[in-house]
Amino acid sequence: MGEIRALCISEKRGTAKQATDRAFFITEYGIDGDAHAGDWHRQVSLLGLGEIEDFRARGADVAFGAFGENVVAEGFRFKELPVGTRLRVGQVFFEITQIGKKCHSHCEIFHRVGDCIMPREGVFARVLHGGWVTVGDTLEITTEKIPLDAAVITASDKGSRGEREDASGAAIREILTAEGYEVAGYSIMPDEREELEREMRLWSDRGVGLILTTGGTGFSVRDVTPEATRAVIDREAPGIAEAMRALSMKVTPRAMLSRATAGLRKRSLIVNLPGSEKAVRECLGFI
């Protein structure tokens, strides 16, 4: 078990990173705002405090982030951990993917002091589950299962104005929690397409695996949730909505009036659910 001593970010590769007190890690991406984040195996770099202090003891005045490391932790010599080791900081999970690296072009610190410990002492990891990390947090090796996460978006003009209780949104959160999901976000939005699109993108960009909407799937001119969903998804998953409609038809023929859709954006599955609590419970039971 160890402690996070520094978190560092840079906007450009090949330069020293700047220390920050807090950073947001995005699932399967890396640190929000960091140049090395992306859909690859070296999303985050980690370096032990002991290795940095040994380097400083040789007379080099280096700040945290000078070696291009994202995370500095006390209590670990990371290169001794095998590839595949999982680490946890609060709700954030890392998996080590590479030990050290070969430098093809020397970084800023090498040109300044003639050496860089990152290639031989540092390790790289991908983010299995994202969230906030703060300097001082505890870092530990873990074998725990990666938590499932979800966000709930209620589309309701009256609900957004506080004129109607959001029973359907509450039901979704209750069911998700019972199924072992962590509800990472919940919002009540007016039936405005641009606002709904923005909220879906927000949670998708944060790496949330499941985004469930409720409301706005009918024939009213204000019902725009399916249109907002189609605008943000990369690929449709029509079978989900088709299954909900087909099974709901056995309960009520009015299910044919649902325009709900479903699809994938990046690593997020977005599913439209009906607006009533009863229908929400039925549809979640079907899928």
| Separation of alpha carbons 236 and 230, rounded Å | 8
Instruction: Return the structure tokens found at 124.
Output: 């790289």
Residue 279's domain comprises: 148-286
Do 6 and 137 lie in one domain? The reply is yes
Kindly report which listed range (101-110, 117-126, 227-236) carries the lowest average pLDDT score: 101-110
- The answer to whether residues 87 and 44 touch, using CB atoms and an 8 Å cutoff, is no
Tens of pLDDT, residue by residue over 21-55, are 999 999 999 999 999 999 999 999 999 998 888 87
Do 135 and 160 lie in one domain? The reply is no
Do 135 and 162 lie in one domain? The reply is no
Domain boundary among 107, 141, 175: 141
In this model, does residue 144 exceed pLDDT 70? Answer: yes
Closest CA to 281 of 179, 130, 158, 157: 179
Instruction: Return the structure tokens found at 245.
Output: 């409609």
Share of the chain above pLDDT 70, in %: 95
Do 100 and 209 lie in one domain? The reply is no
Q: How far apart are the first and last CA of the chain?
A: 40
Tens of pLDDT, residue by residue over 80-105, are 999 999 999 999 999 999 998 766 55
Residues 157-176: what's their mean pLDDT?
97
**Residues paired with residue 9 on neighbouring β-strands, in sequence order:** 18
pLDDT of residue 13: 83
pLDDT of residue 115: 60
Do 280 and 214 lie in one domain? The reply is yes
In this model, does residue 106 exceed pLDDT 70? Answer: no
Instruction: Return the structure tokens found at 181.
Output: 């999901």
C-alpha distances in Å from residue 168, one per residue of 71, 165, 215, 220, 276: 41, 9, 8, 18, 6
Beta-carbon contacts of 3 under 8 Å, excluding residues fewer than 6 positions away, are: 73, 74, 75, 136, 137, 138, 139
pLDDT of residue 107: 57
Could you give the number of structural domains in the chain?
Answer: 2
Do 184 and 68 lie in one domain? The reply is no
Do 101 and 125 lie in one domain? The reply is yes
Please give the mean pLDDT across all residues of the chain.
92
- Of the pLDDT bands very low, low, confident and very high (cuts 50, 70, 90), residue 193 is very high
Domain boundary among 95, 123, 141: 141
Q: What is the pTM of this model?
A: 0.82
Residues 192-205: what's their mean pLDDT?
97
Instruction: Characterize the bridge pairing of strands 138-141 and 131-134.
Output: unpaired
Tens of pLDDT, residue by residue over 217-233, are 999 999 999 999 999 99
Share of the chain above pLDDT 90, in %: 81
Do 190 and 209 lie in one domain? The reply is yes
| Separation of alpha carbons 260 and 233, rounded Å | 14
| Separation of alpha carbons 202 and 213, rounded Å | 14
Do 162 and 254 lie in one domain? The reply is yes
In this model, does residue 112 exceed pLDDT 80? Answer: no
Kindly report which listed range (117-121, 138-142, 207-211, 230-234) carries the lowest average pLDDT score: 117-121
CATH number for the domain spanning 281: value is 3.40.980.10
| Separation of alpha carbons 48 and 120, rounded Å | 12
Do 137 and 164 lie in one domain? The reply is no
Burial, 196: exposed, middle or buried (Cβ in 10 Å; 0-12, 13-18, 19+)?
buried
Domain boundary among 141, 158, 193: 141
CATH number for the domain spanning 60: value is 2.40.33.20
Do 137 and 255 lie in one domain? The reply is no
